A and B are shown apart, each in its own frame.
Chain A
Amino acid sequence: MIIEIVGKFYDNHSLTIINRNIAFMLNENDKIDLYITPLDDYNPDANLPKQIVKKLKELSAKSIDQNSYPEVQLRHAYPPVWQWPLKAQTKVVYIQPWEYPKLPFEWQYKWETFADHVIVPSNYIRDIAIRAGLNPNDITVVPNGYNEKLFNKEEPKNLPYGIDSSKFNFVYVGNSQWRKGLDILINAWHKCFKSYDNARLIIKDNPAIYGKNSVLNEIVKMQYKTGCAPVTYIDDNVSDETMADIFKASKVVVHPYRAEGFGMHIQEAVACGCVPILPDTGPHQDFIPEEIGIRIQTNQKAIDISSSEIFAQKPGDAFTMMSSHTIINEPNGQHLEKALQWMYHSHDKKDKFEQVKNLELNNTWENVAKQYVEVLLNVGNTDKPRRIR
C-alpha cells in the first residue's frame, strides 16, 4: 500500500518529531511503500543528526509510478491541511493534537465530511472530539512514542549548560504559552527553594517554534529579587540526545499544565527515571500510572479562549462556533509548592524513584508504529474515500 505523510520533518517541534519517527517505522514495514512530503525545508539550526537528514531526504525524493497514487495520505500539521488530495482515490487520515476542552467546530465538520479517519494521541482529545460531535467510529487513539534507545535509565553522556547531576534538578520542558503553566511553576519555585538549597530548576523553552518571549527576563528578575535557588534557562534547539542527557541528570520532571494534548516530554523524562509532578487530570493519564509521581490538585476554571493572553492565535486557527468560553483545569499553586518541597525534603521520596525505576512504558515507537499500521491498512482497504462532494 502506498502511503504519503504530509507534515513538517526538519525542526524539533513535537509534531515534527512524531512525523519523523512514524515515517522511519512505517518505512520498515513490508506492506507499506512510504514517501513523505515535507512542509518545511532542511534547517541546520535544528541540529538533526546527519543520518536522519539523509533518510528524510531519501524518503522525500522517492518517486512513485506515474500511474500510481498514495492510497492513504496521512496528514499531521498545525493548522490542519485542508486541501483535496491530487487523486480522488486517495484516502485522507489526520493525526491531530489539540489541547483545550472545546474543539474548533470547523475541524469536526471537515473531519465528518472530508476525512477518512482521525488519529489523536490521547483519550483526552478523543473525548473532546466526540463531545464536539465526531462519530466515535471515525477516531482512534494512537499514543505518541518515545525512543527507548535514547530515553532510558543509562547515565548521561554529556552534561551541557553547566548542568550538574549532583544537584537536585527539577526539569520543565515547554514554553511560555499560558496553557503550559510555566507561570505557576515560577511562582512556586521562588517560595520553595533558596539559593543555599541544592535544588536547581532547568527550563527548556522552544522559542524557535513558539516565538520569542520574556521568560529569561522574568526568571533572572525572580532570582535577583527573591534569592531563590538557581534556574537554568535553555532556549537553544537541542538534539534528542542532549534532551535525554538533561532528563538523565534530573530527578523530577514538573509540568503543571492547564491544557495539554499529550505531553511527550513527560513520557521521555519518566523513561529516563524522572519522577513526574503532574496535574491530577489530563492526557498523561493514558501512559503514566496514577501511583507514579505526585499529582497536583486542579480546580475547574472558566476561561475566555479568545483572549490573546490565553491563546496566541496564528493564521489558520479556527474558532467559528467554538464559543469563546470554556473550562480548563487550573493546577493549585500551593499544592505544587508542597509537591516540589516534598520531593526535595522527604525521606520517603526514594519510594517514588524506585517506582519510576521499575516502571515499564509501553509506547516505544516500534509499538506505536504497529498501531498506526493497523489503522492505515484498515482505512486503505476500504472501498473508496468518504469525501462528501
Chain B
Amino acid sequence: MAKKKSVISLISYDANRFLAQSIKRYYNYVDEIVLGIDKDRVTWSGNDFSIDEDALWDELSQIDGDGKISIIEEDFHQSKVAIENDNYERNFLKEQCSHEWIFSFDADEMLVNAKDFFLNFCPLVEKYYNKTDLCMTWATPYKVVEDSKGNSQTLVIANTDDSPFFNETQGVITSKDSTFMYARWTDKSQYGDNRLMSPLVALHWSLCRPDKELHEKINNIGHSDLVEKDPFYQIWSQVTWDNYHELQNFKTSGLGGSQWPTLFAVPSDQVESYITQHLGRAY
C-alpha cells in the first residue's frame, strides 16, 4: 500500500487567483490537504490582506469531493520578521497533519506532471521519506505582454536555446520529524545535503501576475526583507514585447546559484504545452 501523503498549503492574498487551480493538480493523489490562513488576515510581513472568502470556500468545496481538505486558522504573524512567520506557519500546519510524509505546495505552483510523479516516482522513494527531502523543478513564467498584433504572450525564463530554464529547484517534500528552517528548506535539507531530485515540475506563477498583485506579493513574502534591496521589480516593470529579448543573465536577487539566461515568448494559452514538451530536460 502506498505511503499516505499530507499536503500543506497557505491561504493568503493570492488565493483567489491560484489556490483552487493548484490543488486540483494533486488532489487525487494525496490523502489530506491542510490549508493555513492567518486568523486576522495579516500577511507574514504584517500587512492586512483581503480575499473573496465566499468564492474561495465555494471553489474548495467543489473540489473536495473526498473530504480531504481542512483549514486551520491561527496567528501566523506573531513575529516582526517575515521569514520567522513563514517558518512558524509551515511547522504549525505540519503538526496538524495526520500522515508522516509531508508535501508542501504553494498556491502559485501548478504541478505539470503530477500523475507521473505520484504514481511512478513516489513509490520508488517512499522508503527514504524521512532520510531526505525531495525537490521539484520550477518552470517560471515571468510576465504576460501583448505582441505587436495584440495577442497575449507569456515571457518564460528560458535558456539561450529557447528551452525552459530548469535550473531552479525547491525542496517540497519532507517528513513530519523535520523542521522548516527557511520557508520549505528544512533542518535536513537547508545546507544542501539530503536533497533528492525528482522529475516533478511546477509552473511557478510567482512573478507572472498583474502589476498590482506582484507588488503586493514581493512586499509580503517570507524573504520580503531581501526584496527591498533587489531591483527586480523595477526591471520587471519595464519589460515589454519590444525589449524583452535584451534581457540576458538578468536575475538580481542573488537567491539560488543560477542566473536566468534569457526570456522566451510563448502564446499564453500554450505555456503548459511548451513546458511539457521539454519535461525530459528537467530530470
Name A residues whose Cβ lies closer than 8 Å to a Cβ of B.
161-162, 212, 216-217, 220-221, 223-224, 230, 232-233, 235
Residues of A within 8 A of B132 (CB): 216
User: Are B127 and A162 interface neighbours, CB within 8 A?
Assistant: yes
| Any A CB within 8 A of the CB of B125 | yes
Closest-CB distance, B192 to chain A (whole angstroms): 9
User: Are A220 and B125 interface neighbours, CB within 8 A?
Assistant: yes
Residues of A within 8 A of B267 (CB): none
Interface size on B, residues (CB 8 A): 13
User: Are A216 and B128 interface neighbours, CB within 8 A?
Assistant: yes
Chain A-chain B contacts (Cβ-Cβ < 8 Å), number: 23
Closest-CB distance, B60 to chain A (whole angstroms): 32
15 more contacts with CB within 8 A, not counting A216-B196, A221-B197, A224-B121, are A162-B127, A216-B128, A216-B132, A217-B196, A217-B197, A220-B124, A220-B125, A221-B283, A223-B124, A224-B120, A224-B124, A224-B283, A232-B127, A233-B128, A235-B131
| Any A CB within 8 A of the CB of B261 | no
| CB under 8 Å from chain A, chain B span 87-142 | 120-121, 124-125, 127-128, 131-132
A255 to B43, CA, bound (A): 56
User: Are A212 and B125 interface neighbours, CB within 8 A?
Assistant: no
Name the residue on A nearest B135 (C-beta). A217
Q: List 20 A-B contacts (CB under 8 A).
A: A161-B127, A162-B127, A212-B193, A216-B128, A216-B196, A217-B196, A217-B197, A220-B124, A220-B125, A220-B196, A221-B197, A221-B283, A223-B124, A224-B121, A224-B124, A224-B283, A230-B124, A232-B127, A233-B128, A235-B131
Residues of B within 8 A of A235 (CB): 131
A232 to B124, CA, bound (A): 10
| Any A CB within 8 A of the CB of B199 | yes
A340 to B197, CA, bound (A): 29
Closest-CB distance, B193 to chain A (whole angstroms): 6
Residues of B within 8 A of A162 (CB): 127
A235 to B128, CA, bound (A): 11
A233 to B124, CA, bound (A): 11
A144 to B199, CA, bound (A): 44
Closest-CB distance, B67 to chain A (whole angstroms): 31
Residues of B within 8 A of A217 (CB): 196-197
Residues of B within 8 A of A212 (CB): 193
Closest-CB distance, B187 to chain A (whole angstroms): 16
A230 to B128, CA, bound (A): 13
- Which 10 residue pairs across A and B have the least CB separation, nearest first? A223-B124, A224-B121, A220-B124, A217-B197, A212-B193, A220-B125, A217-B196, A224-B124, A162-B127, A216-B196
Most buried by B among A161, A162, A220: A220
Residues of A within 8 A of B131 (CB): 235
A161 to B199, CA, bound (A): 24
A221 to B200, CA, bound (A): 12
Residues of B within 8 A of A224 (CB): 120-121, 124, 199, 283
